[in-house]
């Protein structure tokens, strides 16, 4: 399994291990990773991301504790078949919605205008 590592790790966006966990969850939520998929070894992923292998190990430990992945001794690390993908997707969606709502409120935009802008952008994306 080749994990998409095209994402950028940002030095000012919080701990790297947290960012790795977030990216794995995002890839699961959008279907780029599927339950049962094998993840690269911590060493391989660390090389791809140019980070210390211990950072990836820490991220994997957190994901494992959260029931997202599991390590099978001698076989590797896999996305659990019972990983809470729907829950992760919902959490990501709600977080994005919160960011949007907070921004439009900060701008003083009324609900109807914010919903209309969102619909306009949504519909424009369908046309592509």
Q: Tell me: pLDDT of 8 over 80.
A: no
Give, to the nearest 10 degrees, the angle between helix 16-29 and helix 53-65.
50
> What percent of the chain has a predicted confidence (pLDDT) above 90?
82
What average pLDDT does range 81-105 have in this prediction? 95
**What mean pLDDT, rounded, does the chain reach?**
91
What is residue 12's predicted lDDT score, i.e. its pLDDT? Answer: 80
Domain locations along the chain? 16-79, 85-126
CB 37 within 8 A of CB 83: no
Cα–Cα distances in Å, from 2 out to 6, 45, 69? Answer: 11, 10, 15
The residues near 52 (Cβ < 8 Å, ≥ 6 apart) are 46
Per-residue pLDDT of 96-106, as tens digits, reads 999 999 999 99
Give me the CATH topology for the region 16-79: Arc Repressor Mutant, subunit A (1.10.10)
């Amino acid at each position: 399994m080749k994990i998409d590592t095209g994402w950028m790790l940002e030095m000012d966006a919080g701990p790297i291990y947290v960012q790795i966990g977030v990216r794995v969850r995002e890839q699961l939520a959008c279907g780029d990773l599927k339950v049962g998929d094998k993840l690269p070894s911590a060493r391989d992923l660390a090389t791809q991301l140019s980070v210390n292998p211990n950072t990836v190990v820490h991220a994997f430990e957190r994901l494992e504790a959260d029931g997202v992945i599991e390590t099978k001794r001698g076989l590797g690390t896999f996305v659990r078949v019972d990983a809470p993908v729907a829950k992760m997707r919902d959490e990501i969606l709600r977080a994005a919605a919160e960011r949007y709502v907070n921004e439009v409120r900060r701008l003083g935009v009324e609900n109807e205008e914010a919903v209309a802008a969102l619909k306009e952008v949504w519909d424009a994306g369908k046309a592509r």
